[in-house]
């Protein structure tokens, strides 16, 4: 496939860096906020919150796309544990900046961005391949179907 065709297939979103770095991985997307304390299992990197759309799914090594954090200040402690247990997300893309979200992103050391020129929840779907370059403020999305995966 030519570089021109690949470039046309890539969606680009720009945003603001919260935590620098570059990472990429499969997207895991939810429109639900995530609770850290009692909402995730840091041993597996899985969402365990009852009635959450991602319940039972692991975000380990994936780019987590979601509105933001909810719950107590324990959010950052739980996500810090995911880093220590090597189950942290590869990156965070979130819409609402709060102190718990900022601290949670910092303690995981995963590239994190917010304040986008386009809402990532409308551009990214679970299974898309996402490259987060927080240092440059650029997100590149390759849609799942364009990668040749089953739609």
In the prediction, which pLDDT does 9 show? 74
Handedness of CA 127, 40, 48, 94 (dihedral sign): negative
Handedness of CA 141, 26, 6, 20 (dihedral sign): positive
In the prediction, which pLDDT does 71 show? 83
Adjacent-strand bridge partners of 132: 23, 139
This prediction has a pTM of: 0.89
In the prediction, which pLDDT does 28 show? 98
Instruction: Report residue 131 CA to chain centroid gap.
Output: 10
Query: For the chain, which residues score pLDDT lower than 50?
Result: 1-7, 151
Q: Does the annotation mark 23 as catalytic?
A: no
Task: Spot the catalytic one: 35, 72, 73, 76.
Answer: 72
- The encoded tokens of residue 73 equal 């200040």
In the prediction, which pLDDT does 55 show? 96
In the prediction, which pLDDT does 37 show? 86
In the prediction, which pLDDT does 76 show? 87
What are phi and psi for residue 4, nearest 5 degrees? -65, -40
In the prediction, which pLDDT does 94 show? 96
Residue 122: partners with Cβ closer than 8 Å, 6 or more residues away: none
């Amino acid at each position: 496939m030519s570089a021109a065709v690949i470039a046309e297939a890539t969606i680009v979103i720009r945003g603001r860096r919260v935590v620098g770095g570059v990472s990429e991985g499969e997207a895991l997307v939810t429109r639900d906020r995530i609770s850290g304390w009692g909402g995730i299992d840091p041993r597996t990197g899985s969402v365990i919150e009852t009635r959450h759309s991602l319940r039972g799914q692991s975000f380990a090594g994936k780019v987590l796309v979601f509105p933001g954090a909810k719950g107590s200040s324990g959010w950052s402690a739980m996500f810090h544990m995911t880093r220590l247990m090597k189950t942290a997300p590869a990156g965070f893309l979130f819409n609402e900046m709060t102190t718990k979200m900022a601290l949670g992103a910092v303690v995981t050391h995963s590239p994190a961005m917010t304040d986008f020129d386009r809402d990532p929840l409308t551009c990214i779907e679970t299974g898309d391949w996402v490259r987060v370059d927080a240092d440059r403020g650029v997100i590149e999305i390759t849609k799942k179907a364009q990668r040749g995966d089953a739609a």
